[in-house]
Structure 1
Amino acid sequence: MLKVLIVEDSALMRSQLRRLLEGEGDIQVAIARNGAEALAVIPEFEPQVVTLDVNMPEMDGLTCLGHIMRDMPRPVLMVSSITQQGSEAAVRALALGAVDVVAKPGGTMSIGIEAMRDELLGKLRAAARARPRRALRLREALRAEQAAAEQRRHSAAARAATRGLAGLTLVGVSTGGPRTLEDILPELPASYPQAVLVAQHMPAGFTASFARRLDSICALEVVEVSTPMPLQPGRAYIGRGEADLVVEKRLGRLVANSVRSDTSLWHPSVDRLVRSALGLVPPAGLIGVQLTGMGDDGAAAMAELRRLGGRTIAESEETAAVFGMPAELIRRGGASEVLPCDRIAAKLRQWAVSGQAGGSSRWDS
């Protein structure tokens, strides 16, 4: 029996979520109306997963999450409205240790709950298998942001000194990914000679806030892709939620573009991103990185990338919140390296610089 605590101040939302979850037959539900109640219920009920609203009276979701991750860490799934304030708070929650986010339904509640049913249940069951990770302490986080700002001051000169685009780094990630990306991307310098493209499974409405947060803590410039954007070294491109991120060639230049999602289960699709890059860039100019997440999205394409001569990294089980996507890449023999998340950035720097000799303008011109 999966034990889930629903923390939500709306009585209607609480009742709809409870009905949906208990209807599964193998989920036991407890309820809390705000963060303060949740902190009292958790030691007694011992939920395996907590669903946490962002905006609540007495104690809001972010404050509650901080207490949970410090005192009684367990997987937390944020349930947030798709507003700028709500999405930014949800992204902040992911940085504090929440494993994933689900968008609250709009319009008629009963219809909206049914529409989000598969996503909610899938993410709940994935969260139940996740290993929560504490976020950086505040002082360390501030230091990271200051270091990123200092590197950013020199970014224009660093990019100008880079001789063309030295290839593409393709990152696939799902449940637990935002926290893992915050361990990796800030460790890449503004002079990183490749463009970084990230397919992070995330609902629409949250990826813009996610890109802004990463941009604030990274020396790389980080942008959400909503229209065609030329690929440049020292820049990271985040796929838009519920669309797919692909590499295209326009007027002789490689661009990142957001396109309508295909029929696959998760979006942005890692598999589609990697295959689009393979169609335009020699495999030797590509690095694939498969991080935490449920399922197998991207495993087949990255295994093909390695077979054709590219290099790939799978996050190791010791740090992956959910060891599904990287495990599948390893099972297929598609991982050149298996590394914990705190060693991935160093390997990327090593590989990208070693493949930079002579530049690669032939790939983007």
Structure 2
Amino acid sequence: MIRLLVVDDSPLMRRLLGNVFAAQGDFELSFARNGVEALDKLAAFKPDVITLDIQMPEMDGLACLDRIMLEHPCPVVMVSSLTTEGADATLEALELGAVDFITKPKRAVSLEIETLAPLLVEKVRAASRARLPGTLRLADRVRLKSGLDSKPMPAPRKLVRPMPAACGVRRTDSPVHNLVLVGTSTGGPPALDVLLARLPHDFPWPVVVAQHMPGSFTGPLARRLDKLCALNVTEVTRPTPLEPGNVYIGKGDADVIVSMRPGGPVVLAAPSHPEHRWHPSVDRLVHSAMQHFPPAGLIGVLMTGMGSDGAEAMTTLRQQGGRTIAEAEESAVVWGMPGELVHRGGADIVAPLEDIADRIIELVGRK
């Protein structure tokens, strides 16, 4: 049985979520109306996973999440709105340690809950098996237990920007012939923090990212990443020339693809293709890049995420002479996508998250 604590101030939402998970037959449920009540239930109920609303009275979801990660670390799935404010709060929650998020229906929740139910269950099941790093908020937890500070400290940003010389490859103004393709899903935003913060400002290849997210979330994600790393990070909303020193985040609820224009290669948002379940699709991104770049000029990176998106395309890329990197199980929050790449024999390199940037730099230096 999966012990699930549902935390939401709405009686209707608690009832609807309770019905969805009770119908599965393998969930043991408990409920809380706000963050204070949720914290009171942690020690006795010992949940395997928590769904946590962001907007609640007395103690909101972010404050509650902060306490959970410091006092009783447990996989948490945030329940978020699709607004810009909801996106910003959700990204903050992922930074604090939440594993994933689900979005509330745009219309009456009672009308759409049946449609959303399979995804809700899949995300919560994946979160219940998620790996929380032992170092997650470790310094804060030690400080709190030592009584050095009665207030939980904000999540530290352990981001180290390498010196420009670390890349070892000079940028030029020549046309772009090489490209890094990154795919990720559950646990992806914090993983992108780590990866991109370790790439120097003179990194000579463009980087295109397919992160499974709703369309209202990828803009805030790009702006947040742009503040954290030396490269320029933008959301792809229109055909954009691919240039060194830039990271392009695919717009959510659409696919991100590479194409060729008279002036050179571009990246653009394309309507999501029904052939692919998750969007932006990593498989579609990689296949589109292979149509316009030689395989030897492509590096595919597949990081944490449930499912198998990207594994098929990156396996093909490796078979045709491209290079691929899979995140190691030891660091992945969910080893679905990178694990599938490894199982298919499609990974040249398997590396923990903190080493992936160095492996990319090494591969670029050999070109």
User: Gaps (5+ residues) in structure 2?
Assistant: 140-152
Structure 2: distance between partners of 1:282 and 1:95:
36
Cα RMSD (Å) of the superposition? 2.3
Q: Name the structure 1 match of 2:83.
A: 83
Which deviates more from structure 2 when the two are superposed, residues 223-232 or residues 130-139? 130-139
Inter-CA distance 231–325: structure 2 relative to 1 (3 Å threshold): same
User: Gaps (5+ residues) in structure 1?
Assistant: 153-157, 356-365
Deviations 1:271-305 (A, max 9, x none): 00000000100011100001111121111110111
The Cα of 1:136 is off from its aligned counterpart by 8.5
Q: Does 1:354 align with 2:366?
A: yes
Q: What's the % identity of the aligned pairs?
A: 49
SS in 1 for 2:234: strand
Inter-CA distance 9–131: structure 2 relative to 1 (3 Å threshold): same
Q: Does 1:230 align with 2:237?
A: no
Structure 1: distance between partners of 2:347 and 2:277:
23
Structure 1: distance between partners of 2:262 and 2:350:
37
Q: Name the structure 1 match of 2:150.
A: none
Write the mapping of 1:126-145 to structure 2, written as runs, cut at 5 A: 126-133=126-133, 134=136, 141=156, 144=159
Q: Name the structure 2 match of 1:27.
A: 27
Q: Does 1:262 align with 2:277?
A: no
User: Match for 2:292 among 277, 280, 301?
Assistant: 280
Preserved contact between residue 70 and residue 137 of structure 2 (Cα < 8 Å): no
Write the mapping of 1:31-42 to structure 2, written as runs, cut at 5 A: 31-42=31-42
Structure 1: distance between partners of 2:60 and 2:210:
30
Structure 1: distance between partners of 2:354 and 2:254:
29
Inter-CA distance 330–258: structure 2 relative to 1 (3 Å threshold): same
Code of the residue aligned with 2:318 in structure 1: it is R
Preserved contact between residue 166 and residue 233 of structure 1 (Cα < 8 Å): no
Preserved contact between residue 95 and residue 155 of structure 2 (Cα < 8 Å): no
Q: Does 1:251 align with 2:262?
A: yes
Code of the residue aligned with 1:52 in structure 2: it is L
Code of the residue aligned with 1:337 in structure 2: it is I
Q: Name the structure 2 match of 1:358.
A: none
User: Match for 2:231 among 204, 220, 243?
Assistant: 220
Code of the residue aligned with 1:26 in structure 2: it is D
The Cα of 1:204 is off from its aligned counterpart by 2.7
Structure 1: distance between partners of 2:118 and 2:265:
36
Inter-CA distance 139–351: structure 2 relative to 1 (3 Å threshold): farther
Inter-CA distance 243–270: structure 2 relative to 1 (3 Å threshold): same
Q: Name the structure 1 match of 2:147.
A: none
Preserved contact between residue 162 and residue 193 of structure 1 (Cα < 8 Å): no
User: Match for 1:296 among 281, 288, 308?
Assistant: 308
Structure 2: distance between partners of 1:29 and 1:141:
32
Preserved contact between residue 50 and residue 77 of structure 1 (Cα < 8 Å): yes
Preserved contact between residue 4 and residue 29 of structure 2 (Cα < 8 Å): yes
Inter-CA distance 73–143: structure 2 relative to 1 (3 Å threshold): closer
Q: Name the structure 2 match of 1:94.
A: 94
TM-score normalised according to structure 1 size: 0.90
Deviations 1:223-269 (A, max 9, x none): 11121111111111111112111111122421111111112211111
Structure with more relative contact order (C-alpha pairs < 8 Å, separation 6 or more):
1
Code of the residue aligned with 1:79 in structure 2: it is V
Structure 2: distance between partners of 1:135 and 1:227:
38
Write the mapping of 1:1-365 to structure 2, written as runs, cut at 5 A: 1-133=1-133, 134=136, 141=156, 144=159, 163-165=174-176, 167-263=178-274, 264-355=276-367
Inter-CA distance 320–347: structure 2 relative to 1 (3 Å threshold): same
Structure 2: distance between partners of 1:160 and 1:307:
28
Structure 2: distance between partners of 1:97 and 1:229:
33
TM-score normalised according to structure 2 size: 0.89
SS in 1 for 2:330: coil
Q: Name the structure 2 match of 1:155.
A: none
